């Protein structure tokens, strides 16, 4: 049976960083809905153009297009053993759709780590975040700057600030998260799949707690 780990957490909590690390240690594909939208945007696809109008405002892209994009992604061979789902689902309708599609792919959501932190910390983290253009490696202007300004340590590509990481949009995205995604916390808690993790700890400590709790589950 394929293993799917849904990572929940507000913008700025370090979810993307942990998802990458988990994907390496668990040998599961990293499926990030935000990265998929950004890839579509870069390639100027119709989906990318549609998504941009929502992303720029810090709003969620409509469920139907998001669900079909994820369905397409997890039907690829590298997701046969499962995946780390980062940023999806974000609404109850997406969670329902995920359950149905995973049955089809002979898998299920096994565990749902929920990384969390207070709003002021999230705003500081997300609005200081810089991302590498080529592969999405993540830096922070204060807490984790690249060795050479604006150059990715890993692949040498440009490190830039995402438009939606500017402070006004970040604040909106965090509100949208608390409005629309928090119901999922309860949904997975009731199913006994939720693991709550304090996202204010250092990155390495969050990873340690995350790996230890996955082992227990």
Active site residues: 15, 90, 129, 162, 173
Residue 10: alpha-carbon gap to chain centroid = 9
Beta-carbon contacts of 115 under 8 Å, excluding residues fewer than 6 positions away, are 7, 8, 9, 13, 14, 15, 18, 197, 198, 199, 206, 210
Q: What are phi and psi of 194, to 5 degrees?
A: -80, 135
| x/- map, 62-91, ligand AMP, by CB under 6 A | ----x--------------------xx-x-
Strand-strand pairing, 107-116 and 2-7: parallel
52 binds ligand AMP (CB under 6 A): no
Say which residues have a Cβ less than 8 Å from residue 14's Cβ, sequence separation at least 6: 115, 125, 199, 203, 206
Cα 57 to Cα 170: distance, rounded to the nearest angstrom:
9
Of the pair 18, 33, the CB lying nearest ligand AMP is at 33
Tell me the site size for ligand AMP, rule CB under 6 A. 17
Give bridge partners of residue 131 from the DSSP assignment: 138, 160
> Residue 188 interacts with ligand AMP (CB under 6 A)?
no
Nearer to ligand AMP, 68 or 148 (CB): 68
Q: From the list 10, 11, 128, 199, which residue makes contact with ligand AMP (rule: CB under 6 A)?
A: 11
**Any contact of residue 113 with ligand AMP (CB under 6 A)?**
no
73, 140, 173, 193: which one binds ligand AMP (CB under 6 A): 173
Smallest distance, Å, CB 212 to ligand AMP?
A: 25
DSSP classification of residue 66: H
The residue ranges that bind ligand AMP (CB under 6 A) are 11, 33-34, 37, 54-55, 58-61, 66, 87-88, 90, 94, 164, 173
């Amino acid at each position: 049976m394929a293993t799917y780990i849904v990572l929940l957490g507000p913008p700025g909590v370090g979810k993307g960083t942990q998802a990458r690390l988990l994907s390496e240690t668990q040998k599961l594909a990293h499926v990030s809905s935000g990265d998929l939208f950004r890839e579509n945007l870069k390639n100027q696809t119709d989906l990318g153009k549609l998504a941009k109008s929502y992303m720029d405002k810090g709003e969620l892209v409509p469920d139907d297009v998001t669900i079909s994009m994820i369905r397409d992604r997890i039907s690829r061979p590298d997701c046969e053993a499962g995946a780390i789902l980062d940023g999806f689902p974000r609404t109850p309708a997406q969670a329902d759709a995920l359950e149905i599609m995973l049955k089809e792919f002979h898998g299920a959501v096994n565990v749902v780590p929920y990384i969390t932190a207070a709003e002021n910390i999230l705003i500081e983290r997300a609005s200081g975040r810089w991302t590498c253009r080529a592969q999405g490696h993540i830096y922070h202007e204060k807490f984790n700057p690249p060795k050479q300004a604006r150059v990715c340590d890993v692949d040498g590509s440009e490190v830039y600030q995402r438009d939606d990481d500017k402070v006004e949009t970040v604040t909106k995205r965090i509100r949208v998260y608390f409005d629309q995604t928090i119901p999922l916390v309860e949904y997975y808690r009731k199913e006994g799949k939720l693991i709550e993790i304090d996202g204010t700890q250092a990155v390495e400590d969050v990873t340690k707690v995350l790996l230890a709790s996955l082992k227990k589950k």
